[in-house]
Structure 1
Amino acid sequence: MALPMNSQVDPRDVHAQARFNMIEQQIRPWNVLDEEVLELLGQVRREDFVPPEYVNMAYMDIEIPLLGSPEEAAAKGWHMLAPRIEARMLQDLAVKPGDRVLEIGSGSGYMAALLAARAKEVVTLEIVPELAEMARENLLGAGVKNAEVQLADGASAAAALGQFDVIVLSGSVAKVPDALVDLLRDGGRLGAIVGQLPVMRFTVAEKKGHQVQVRQPWDTLASRLENFEEPSRFSF
């Protein structure tokens, strides 16, 4: 039946349907089966964390640019990770209600909002001033009160922040940063996308007493986080 000519589709209903489709068509098939994580993804409005010009792409399986041209955003890592990547990271790190969480790479604040919904406290560091301000505004607009955005270099500033139960790197690094592992409490987990093109793996380092257990449950690719150590390059 045709809609009356003066009827309008409520944009919130459109986004709700897109959110549902994202969960069922992108995220469940990617082995994200934790019902609490899936429920959370249905509650947090991703469209509130993307630039207005990309709001209709909020639930697509893509990396959404946050600053500059799409080409510049891709080159500099100024974009959101694809939703299925964020969801799988959230599931594999098993954030608990009492956890203190550190995120490096705030971006638009979306991952911090997801983390904050499960944790006691989130500190998220962003090196790009415009992105730090964007994340603050988005989190404030979403009513998230237990996530703090700091303008800081996550490669060097984290040591002054104390210890954490979970550390999330929302970007890639060449290797798991030992300095960040040192900030984990006993039982704490660090998650990062580790490696070099064309092969990177999501890596979980879990501290158990004086030992660190490492697992790499899945492969993906992501732009580099700034200022973390890269392997030496030999020239002949």
Structure 2
Amino acid sequence: MSDGGPKGPRFPLRLDQVGGAPAAPRPMLRPQAPLQQAHADAVRRAAPSGLGLDSADVRRHMVQRLHAQGLQHEAVLAALDSVPRHLFVDAALATQAYEDTSLPIGHGQTISKPSVVGRMLELLMQGANARAGQSLGRALEIGTGCGYQAALLARLAKQVISIERLRPLHDKAREHLAALRLTQLRLVYGDGMRGHPPNAPYDSIIAAAGGEALPPAWLEQLAIGGRLVAPLQEPRTHRQVLVVVDRHEHGYAHSVHETVKFVPLKSGLGG
């Protein structure tokens, strides 16, 4: 459905305003005697490669599973294959990094399931501007979290602005991403509900938190031909669904997709 009107965002900000149905710590190690330590070092050096979490094979198996489950976009699959997800989670959870599960990252936040991240990026890549330029162009991410999705976006977009309202997570993401040296990615500590006007408009906007309505600032900062993907709560069922918004020259159009579960969208800054 779409709403006309050239002046300002007239797209319904809540789903009830429109009709239609939705298409453990590690144990302490005892000090080893010099001979034992030398033997252990030799074993590590002789160990076959490709068996640890830093192996490309581990990521490739994850990507193959996601592909078998229906994820089709080649650029998104390639991005998922190239970014080491285990670097973005706590060491105690690293063995679960390539399972299709969300994991806690502290401060009441989570890193989303790879399948959900992949699906949202696929929807974003199917927008008009992305199809025309074969990239997400200038992208805005609401909710940096641990930085994993921002790293993926940097492989799909020409420029990425990622906003995080919680200072500890913003700092943690900066540490995680430093080693990747993604020059096209900029992290911002700020209120994501306000978007980021200095770099607007954006060809792509993606949010990692959901509320009952889409903030007007997001719609205002979306470029003509651009696409927004975000979770949104249905008022009657209180479940979250993925909503896709496309901006056209004379208004906005939206579609509703599968059920998801994201943390609540909040305003303001947190320490």
Distance 2:189 2:240 in 1: 27
Alignment of 1:116-155 (within 5 A): 116-155=154-193
CA shift for structure 1 position 52: 2.2
Distance 2:136 2:102 in 1: 31
Amino acid at match of 2:61: N
Instruction: Judge conservation of contact 2:231–2:242 (CA < 8 Å) in 1.
Output: yes
Alignment of 1:1-236 (within 5 A): 6=43, 7-10=46-49, 13-14=52-53, 15-25=55-65, 27-67=66-106, 73=107, 76=108, 78-94=109-125, 95=130, 96-97=134-135, 99-156=137-194, 158-196=196-234, 198-227=238-267
Distance 2:257 2:48 in 1: 41
Instruction: Judge conservation of contact 2:210–2:262 (CA < 8 Å) in 1.
Output: yes
CA shift for structure 1 position 62: 1.4
| TM-score normalised by structure 2 residue count | 0.73
Greater relative CO (CA pairs within 8 A, separation 6+): 2
Amino acid at match of 2:239: V
Instruction: Judge conservation of contact 1:163–1:185 (CA < 8 Å) in 2.
Output: yes
2:155 match: secondary structure: helix
CA shift for structure 1 position 98: 6.5
Amino acid at match of 1:38: L
Q: Which moved more, 1:121-130 or 1:14-23?
A: 14-23
Distance 2:255 2:93 in 1: 35
Relative to structure 1, is the Cα distance of residues 205 and 20 closer, same or farther in structure 2, using a 3 angstrom cutoff? same
1:194 match: secondary structure: strand
Distance 2:261 2:105 in 1: 18
Instruction: Judge conservation of contact 1:121–1:146 (CA < 8 Å) in 2.
Output: yes
CA shift for structure 1 position 160: 4.4
Distance 1:210 1:123 in 2: 26
Identity of aligned residues (%): 27
1:172 match: secondary structure: coil
Distance 2:148 2:252 in 1: 29
Relative to structure 1, is the Cα distance of residues 201 and 146 closer, same or farther in structure 2, using a 3 angstrom cutoff? same
CA shift for structure 1 position 205: 0.3
1:222 match: secondary structure: coil
Instruction: Judge conservation of contact 1:173–1:192 (CA < 8 Å) in 2.
Output: no
CA shift for structure 1 position 171: 1.9
Amino acid at match of 1:166: S
Relative to structure 1, is the Cα distance of residues 92 and 211 closer, same or farther in structure 2, using a 3 angstrom cutoff? same
Structure 2 unaligned spans of 5+: 1-41
CA shift for structure 1 position 155: 1.2
- How large is the Cα RMSD of the aligned pairs? 2.2
Distance 1:98 1:37 in 2: 11
1:65 match: secondary structure: strand
Structure 1 unaligned spans of 5+: 68-72, 229-236
CA shift for structure 1 position 104: 0.6
Higher Cα radius of gyration = 2
Instruction: Judge conservation of contact 2:124–2:136 (CA < 8 Å) in 1.
Output: no
